[in-house]
Amino acid sequence: MTQAVTKRRRALLVAASALYAWGVWWMTLRPSIYDADTASVLDAVVRALRSWPPTGWVTLDLVEFVANVALFVPLGMLVIAWRGRWWHGILIAVVVSTAIETIQLLFLPTRVADVRDLVANTTGATLGIALALRVRAFTAST
């Protein structure tokens, strides 16, 4: 890689990492994630899904779990993009998720700290790592 390409890649990674960090902060460390409008829309969507037999098994807890998984997929991808090892991504996900849940428990009484969030977040980062490694392997073979 030329020096210009390396600088551009690093600048993009810094920007993506900063934007991602801000997004995680915004989603996890505000006093409440839902305003009244968001909560009513989310409730309506879950009610609609539950009323249709093929998706009757969908619950708000499941939607929140999947959202937590999705929230941490980019973390795993970023760790690999920064040339970190796979286990760095898992370790970072556990540490960041534990910090978020601890802050929610100690300082945000309107939020619920839950070990399931730690599991979902770590699962998401692991999926992001796997995806990034597959993309890297695919691009290296072409």
**What is the structure's pLDDT at 40?**
81
DSSP letters, 1-21, are --HHHHHHHHHHHHHHHHHHH
Q: What percent of the chain stands above pLDDT 90?
A: 82
Q: Which DSSP symbol is given to 45? A: H
> For residues 125 and 73, what is the distance between their CA atoms, to the nearest angstrom?
5
Q: What ranges do the domains of the chain cover?
A: 3-33+60-141
How many angstroms separate the Cα of 81 from the Cα of each of 70, 139, 140? 18, 13, 14
**What is the structure's pLDDT at 37?**
66
Note the pLDDT tens digit of each residue in 54-68: 999 999 899 999 999
- Burial of residue 18 (CB within 10 Å: 0-12, 13-18, 19+) is exposed
